[in-house]
Amino acid sequence: MGMRNLMTMIVSLALVSLASAAESDTKQNAKTAAAKPPVPKSAIAKPKPKYVRGTSSPAAPVAEAPTTAPVLQAQAVAPEPGEVHTGHMVCELGNAVTVTPDPQQPSRFIVQMKKNTYHMTPVTTTTGAVRLEDTQAGAMWLQLPHKSMLMNSKLGQRMADECQSTHQANVAHAMKLNPPPSLLEEPTLAKK
């Protein structure tokens, strides 16, 4: 295994642990918010569903919450690990990729870039990254917490990189402000 592959794997593992920590913070914030009084219906923003599980059907319209139920403040909801970011994503070098659930096969996704359309199926990974593949076309969509990329797996080249949904852009910004600790540095041991 080359040094670059090792570094990529280490960074991926660090990002997965960062995403897990963010998820537990979100759950804790939800518990805290549940104790607050309900917000009037007129103050509630109706978000459009942006994330769809890799193996579920397309997202159904979200029902309005009853007025007696506690409501969280309007904010972007982080997807759970393993959920596919859908929608139009801007990438580097002026590229853009659109990911939509396949209406005919609920467990698959349609990934489009320019004139290319790929019908992708989720593939399980050990790192926690979301991976979609179109084996016939030789294309792969790899989604990390802070960015996604479209790869030509036959040539081993990236067709689009640094693609980000709104949530991924927020995670990337947070990582710049508070970078995760390096996995290559030795931990400092407390003196006894």
Instruction: Give the separation between CA 147 and CA 168, rounded to whole angstroms.
Output: 6
Beta-strand ranges (E) seen in the chain are: 51-53, 83-85, 87-90, 96-101, 109-113, 116-123, 130-134, 139-143, 148-152, 157-163
The answer as to whether 54 is a domain residue is no
The answer as to whether 57 is a domain residue is no
Domain holding 172: CATH number? 2.40.128.50
165 phi, psi to nearest 5 deg: -80, 175
User: How many domains, the chain?
Assistant: 1
Token pair of 175, please?
């990582």
Residue 75 has a pLDDT of 33
The answer as to whether 89 is a domain residue is yes
**123, 134 Cβ separation under 8 angstroms:** no
Residue 102 has a pLDDT of 94
Q: Are strands 83-85 and 87-90 parallel, antiparallel or unpaired?
A: unpaired
Residue 192 has a pLDDT of 54
Predicted structure pTM score: 0.55
Instruction: Give the separation between CA 107 and CA 130, rounded to whole angstroms.
Output: 14
Residue 121 has a pLDDT of 95
Token pair of 62, please?
């979200």
The answer as to whether 42 is a domain residue is no
The answer as to whether 47 is a domain residue is no
Tokens 């050990």 identify what position? 126
26 phi, psi to nearest 5 deg: -65, -45
Residue 187 has a pLDDT of 64
Query: What is the sign, positive or negative, of the torsion defined by CA atoms of 104, 113, 142, 176?
Result: negative
**85, 50 Cβ separation under 8 angstroms:** yes
Domain containing 119 equals: 3-35+79-177
Q: Is 188 helix (H, G, I), strand (E, B) or coil?
A: coil
Tens digit of each residue's pLDDT, the chain (192 residues): 555 555 566 656 555 555 555 555 555 555 554 555 555 555 555 444 455 555 444 444 444 443 333 333 333 444 555 789 999 999 999 999 999 999 999 889 999 999 999 999 999 989 889 999 999 999 999 999 999 999 999 999 999 999 999 999 999 999 999 888 888 877 666 555
Give the distance from CA 18 to its chain's centroid.
12
Instruction: Give the separation between CA 96 and CA 91, rounded to whole angstroms.
Output: 5
